[in-house]
Amino acid sequence: MTSLRRTLVTIHPARMVVIAFALAVLAGTTLLALPLATEDGTTPPLLTALFTATSAICVTGLVVVDTGTYWSGFGEGVILAMIQVGGFGIMAMASLLALLIAGKLRLRMALNVQAETRAGIGEVRRVLVRVAAIILVVELVTATILTLRFSLGHGLPFGRAVYEGVFHAVSAFNNAGFGLYTDSLTSYATDPWVTLPVALSVILGGIGFPVIIEVLRHRSRRRRGRRGWSLHLKLTVVTTAILLVAGMVLTLWLEWENPNTLGPLAVGEKALGSFFHSVMSRSAGYNAADVTAMESATLLVTCVLMFIGGGSASTAGGIKVTTFAVLGAAIIAEVRGEPTSGVFRRQLAPHVLRQALTVALLGIGLVIMSTIALLAIVDAPFEVVLFEAVSAACTVGLSAGLTPELPGAGQVIVTVLMFVGRVGPITLVSALALRERRRRYQLPEERPIIG
């Protein structure tokens, strides 16, 4: 026991995050593999349990079986618990429990949480409490609205309305996309009292806890004479708004006359449907229109939005909007011939650009390799395979209909994709590295020909 404790203490925090997520997936797989977890009481295939557990812990939402009909109440409860744990972060959840029980937080645990939440060590205690409060408030408000709508507007029994309201609220805020209906939220596509609360919850969960906490702190900062917003908040909010509007406009334009998606709807309903799809493409996974019937151009636009994802330190996936914004600023600076890149009157540090390039290129490489692997084992159009690969790697959960039809090898590939996409390329690479290295000398500079 002592040697095990010493081993755990000396493990690098980034590695601990990967190990914690792997253990959580293993625990979820074990619970879902029980006959009690299925509706008919039979033992589910191990690969099905593994795939579902990984999708839930990694807050993705891709499924190989229908959640509402295949899994029992116990199985759905396990899935819901895994979504909550995965969204909050294994290390953050464990640290919060330790904080509540012991009233203190050890440095090693603080380092582990820092690797997961990207928070400063001194801020960990306050961040954990505030994150937990934000989750509780947003999910409670969303669940209340959905419960009232399901009960009063759609005639569900109150108990069932509460259950469905809570399930979809937790899944929405954690950007998981798990639903209890076979058609996701398509049957509520024209109901703003369902789609808008879900969309708003997805945006709040995907914009990132640092942004929400900074907004909540702004009033006290103004009292102390500090009125400025951080560069991170500006980049996240502005880029998110631009992407939401761009996704809505492009979806509305491309699907306007499609008889299988937005075509039959009224103008206001088309706008609502396109906005909902734009929000969900950022990492949520719900759909109010049939994704399998969308135009190829719409699927490509959705792939771009899924790849960018949401905010840093959020429940969303993708390379993150700040990464996209930093790369955009670097491109603009290079086109203008400026030696350094900047945005909002702030110069970006060189290491920030290197980090952004690393995350983006690793993400592209992951998507390309997984797409090639899936194309080698399935007979499906290229855009559909690419869509599924991006959705899995960026932990979105939208599906063009391929995932439920995947053979065993394809399910394994998608399972690995979801796991890697959740722990993040940087975290995974850091976990695999033996140690950090510093170069003690400077190499001579030389410029190769580019382009």
Q: Is the pLDDT of residue 433 over 60?
A: no
Given pLDDT bands bounded at 50, 70 and 90, which one contains residue 432? Answer: very low
φ, ψ dihedrals at 119, nearest 5°:
-95, 155
Task: Provide mean pLDDT across the span 274-300.
Answer: 92
Q: Calculate the average pLDDT of the chain.
A: 85
Largest Cα–Cα distance in the chain?
73
DSSP, res 342 = E
Higher local confidence (pLDDT), 349 or 108: 349
Is 446 domain-assigned?
A: no
Token output for 155: 């005639």
DSSP, res 229 = P
Strand residues in 346-408 grouped as ranges (E): 346-347
Quote the pTM value.
Answer: 0.88
Is 442 domain-assigned?
A: no
Q: Which residues of 105-131 are buried (b: 16+ CB within 10 A; e: fewer)?
A: beeebbbbbbbbbebeeebbbebbebb
Is 67 domain-assigned?
A: yes
Is 242 domain-assigned?
A: yes
Token output for 249: 């406009």
Task: Provide mean pLDDT across the span 16-28.
Answer: 88
- Domains held by the chain: number: 1
Give the CA distances from residue 72 to residues 41, 67, 104, in Å, rounded to whole numbers and listed in that order: 8, 9, 38
* pLDDT confidence of residue 230: 83
Is 238 domain-assigned?
A: yes
Is 448 domain-assigned?
A: no
The amino acid sitting at 136 is L
pLDDT digits (tens, 9 = 90+) for 104-154: 555 555 655 555 555 555 566 677 777 888 889 999 999 999 999 999 999
Task: Measure the CA–CA gap between 426 and 11, rounded to whole angstroms.
Answer: 17
Query: Containing domain of residue 47, as a range?
Result: 10-217+229-432
pLDDT digits (tens, 9 = 90+) for 226-239: 567 888 889 999 99
Task: Measure the CA–CA gap between 209 and 221, rounded to whole angstroms.
Answer: 18
Residue with tokens 């979806």: 251
Given pLDDT bands bounded at 50, 70 and 90, which one contains residue 4? Answer: very low
SS3 38: strand
